[in-house]
């Protein structure tokens, strides 16, 4: 996928579309950091949740910012590196369906244990709806459809199988 293709120097290969956007993205990042883009070590720079919120459109709620932050922070370490940021943007713009499913799964897997339990499923579903009761019912229904072996956990392969067979 887009994320795991590395160049000789460890840099991530990104599409032409994303490469064209990099100067603007770096400028925005530097502004949030309060630094000149030329002074930033792009291999080591990170942003926290509050800095990330400043990068996002003002129309997002705090819950939406939290959900997006988790999307951009795949290892759930509480910070986003420049590489993670660019990888997610690349994936969204040019990633395969499987790459996008993996990104979503990792975002939902809040404890990073490689599977989703019912609480993680409900938490993920609540990010996309304002009606808590309807979300819980829908999440339970979808969870049961995904949990092919009935063990109370949805693995990545079960999640992919469900994604590929659901409209």
Task: For tokens 């490689």, name the residue.
Answer: 114
Q: Is residue 141 over pLDDT 50? A: yes
Per-residue pLDDT averaged across 109-121, rounded? 87
**Is the pTM of the predicted complex or chain greater than 0.85?**
no
Ranked by mean pLDDT, the top range of 53-57, 62-66, 124-128, 152-156 is 152-156
Closest CA to 78 of 110, 121, 108: 110
Residue-wise pLDDT for 65-112, tens only, equals 888 888 888 777 899 999 889 888 888 777 788 888 887 888 788 787
Q: Tens of pLDDT along 45-76?
A: 999 999 999 998 788 888 888 888 888 887 77
Number of Cβ atoms within 10 Å of the Cβ of 60: 13
């Amino acid at each position: 996928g887009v994320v795991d293709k590395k160049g000789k120097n460890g840099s991530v290969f990104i599409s032409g579309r994303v490469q064209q956007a990099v100067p603007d993205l770096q400028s925005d990042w530097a502004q949030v950091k309060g630094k000149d883009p030329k002074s930033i070590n792009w291999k080591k720079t990170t942003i926290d949740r509050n800095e990330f919120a400043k990068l996002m459109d003002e129309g997002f709620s705090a819950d939406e910012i939290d959900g997006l932050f988790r999307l951009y922070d795949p290892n759930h370490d509480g910070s986003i590196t420049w590489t993670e940021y660019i990888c997610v943007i690349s994936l969204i713009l040019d990633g395969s369906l499987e790459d996008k499913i993996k990104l979503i799964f990792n975002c939902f897997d809040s404890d990073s244990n490689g599977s989703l339990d019912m609480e993680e499923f409900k938490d993920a579903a609540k990010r996309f709806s304002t009606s808590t009761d309807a979300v819980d019912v829908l999440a339970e229904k979808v969870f049961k459809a995904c949990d092919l072996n009935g063990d109370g956990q949805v693995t990545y392969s079960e999640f992919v199988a469900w994604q590929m067979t659901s409209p």
